[in-house]
């Protein structure tokens, strides 16, 4: 059962305007496992900032309930875990892109979606945590069936970034290279790997985590329990239409939060939508100095008096709120067209600008003449 969650932080959109994303948007995925322990969230946010990631999908949060929490300059959106306090998915985002977040949905303890508004296309980050290889086929089928329906509900014009811990080994089978690439850490796919490849083929997705040539230490993601083997089981997929938008995906072993998984970071060439700058209400300026002129003062009093007469104000029976409302409306409405209400400050600035421009033009012309004379005097060898 899909649960919608559309509550955002109070300061959403109050940060400075979004950067013009000429450089890539850094996103990632990380199975953190122990976020419920004291201090784990602070450690995670520290690593998140250290690697300059803008959006990070996290698995095995193991927090009860769902919502968001703010830590420093980051916001953690999280979904609920199951009854055994297992699972739970979420995403961490930088506050400076919070205004671009369009929606956050928690599907279940293994699946969550974050929709980010882009300049040309929206980006759907689908965070998944698949059952391990030894789980039953029924449990795996349930997750992939739900994942299929979730992807089906995303508009086709969106950039889909499917990422997370799939517990899937992707091999180098020749028949799958158009989908998987040829740079996987493993030679053969396991059962979860075949399921992920089948999903990618059916939904028109490319597995980008096995598409880029890197050293093996930058491919391995998870240590085996005896620490003898390193597996590549966390993956990043993107719809084929936007495959070239993902510039790179690799592992960073230096990130540490107590998990046996390594941090996976990708680069996405995309521009996020800029936050609309709110227009501040301009306060009307009154040049009250002109009221010192007796003629202007008399005309002003006469106009105000006539306007009050037109409003048919009953000073004896009307309450104070009605009288104040009438006064507040009458003065700006009637006197906005009068000379004494003009924005003198703007006129002075414009006059000052014209004077400065003339002086600057004279200086430029003078210096230009001096340069020409000097050039003629020194000859072509200058």
212 and 293, same domain (yes or no): no
Give whole-number Cα distances, 6 to 88, 101, 152, 249, in Å. Answer: 18, 10, 20, 30
DSSP string for residues in 194-208: HHHHHHHHHHTEEEG
Q: How far apart are CA 70 and CA 73, in angstroms?
A: 7
Percent of the chain whose predicted confidence (pLDDT) is above 70: 80
pLDDT: is 373 or 217 the higher one? 217
Is residue 6 included in any domain, yes or no? no
76 and 198, same domain (yes or no): yes
Q: Give mean pLDDT, residues 296-302.
A: 79
Would you say the pTM of this structure is higher than 0.85? Answer: no
**What was the pLDDT predicted at 252?**
96
213 and 110, same domain (yes or no): yes
78 and 180, same domain (yes or no): yes
Q: Is the pLDDT of residue 105 over 80?
A: yes
Determine the structural domain holding residue 333 and report its residue range: 288-375
Q: Give mean pLDDT, residues 185-198.
A: 96
pLDDT digits (tens, 9 = 90+) for 48-91: 999 999 999 999 998 888 889 999 999 999 988 877 778 899 99
**What was the pLDDT predicted at 156?**
87
Look up the CATH number of the domain holding residue 149. Answer: 3.60.10.10
Residues 109/89, Cβ–Cβ less than 8 Å: yes
Percent of the chain whose predicted confidence (pLDDT) is above 90: 51
**What was the pLDDT predicted at 278?**
59
How many residues can be counted in the chain? 382
Mean pLDDT in the chain? 83
Report the candidate in 257, 267, 250, 162 with the shortest Cα–Cα distance to residue 209.
Answer: 250
Is residue 72 included in any domain, yes or no? yes
232 and 122, same domain (yes or no): yes
148 and 219, same domain (yes or no): yes
261 and 341, same domain (yes or no): no
Q: Give mean pLDDT, residues 350-368.
A: 83
Query: Pick from 268, 303, 323: which residue ends a domain?
Result: 268
Q: Give mean pLDDT, residues 342-371.
A: 76
pLDDT digits (tens, 9 = 90+) for 22-40: 568 999 999 998 787 888 8
DSSP run (H or E) holding 151:
helix 137-152
Query: Pick from 212, 233, 268: which residue ends a domain?
Result: 268
């Amino acid at each position: 059962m899909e649960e919608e969650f559309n509550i955002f932080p109070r300061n959403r959109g109050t940060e400075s305007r979004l950067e013009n994303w000429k450089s890539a948007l850094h996103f990632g995925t990380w199975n953190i496992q122990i976020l419920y322990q004291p201090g784990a969230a602070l450690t995670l946010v520290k690593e998140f900032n250290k690697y300059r990631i803008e959006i990070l999908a996290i698995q095995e949060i193991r927090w009860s309930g769902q919502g968001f929490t703010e830590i420093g300059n980051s916001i953690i959106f999280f979904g609920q875990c199951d009854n055994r306090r297992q699972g739970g998915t979420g995403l961490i985002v930088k506050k400076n892109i919070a205004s671009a977040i369009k929606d956050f949905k928690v599907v279940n303890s293994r699946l969550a979606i974050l929709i980010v508004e882009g300049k040309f296309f929206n980006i759907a980050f689908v965070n998944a945590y698949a059952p391990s290889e030894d789980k039953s086929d029924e449990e795996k089928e349930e997750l992939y069936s739900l994942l299929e329906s979730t992807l089906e509900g995303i508009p086709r014009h969106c950039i889909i970034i499917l990422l997370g811990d799939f517990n899937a080994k992707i091999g180098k089978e020749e028949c799958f290279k158009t989908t998987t690439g040829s740079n996987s850490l493993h030679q053969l796919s396991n059962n979860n790997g075949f399921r992920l490849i089948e999903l990618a083929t059916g939904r028109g997705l490319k597995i980008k985590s096995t598409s880029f040539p890197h050293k093996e230490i930058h491919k391995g993601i998870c240590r085996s329990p005896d620490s003898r083997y390193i597996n590549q089981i966390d993956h990043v997929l993107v719809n084929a239409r936007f495959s070239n938008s993902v510039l790179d995906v690799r592992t960073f072993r230096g990130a540490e939060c107590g998990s046996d998984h390594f941090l996976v970071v990708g680069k996405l060439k995309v521009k996020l939508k800029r936050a609309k700058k709110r227009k501040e209400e301009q306060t009307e300026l009154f040049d009250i100095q002109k009221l010192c002129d007796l003629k202007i003062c008399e005309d002003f009093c006469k106009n105000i008096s006539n306007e009050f007469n037109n409003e048919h104000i009953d000073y004896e029976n009307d309450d104070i709120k009605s009288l104040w409302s009438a006064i507040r409306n009458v003065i700006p409405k009637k006197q906005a067209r009068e000379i004494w209400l003009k924005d003198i400050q703007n006129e002075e600035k414009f006059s000052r600008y014209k004077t400065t421009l003339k002086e600057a033009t004279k200086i430029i012309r003078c210096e230009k003449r001096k340069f020409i004379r000097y050039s003629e005097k020194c000859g072509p060898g200058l």
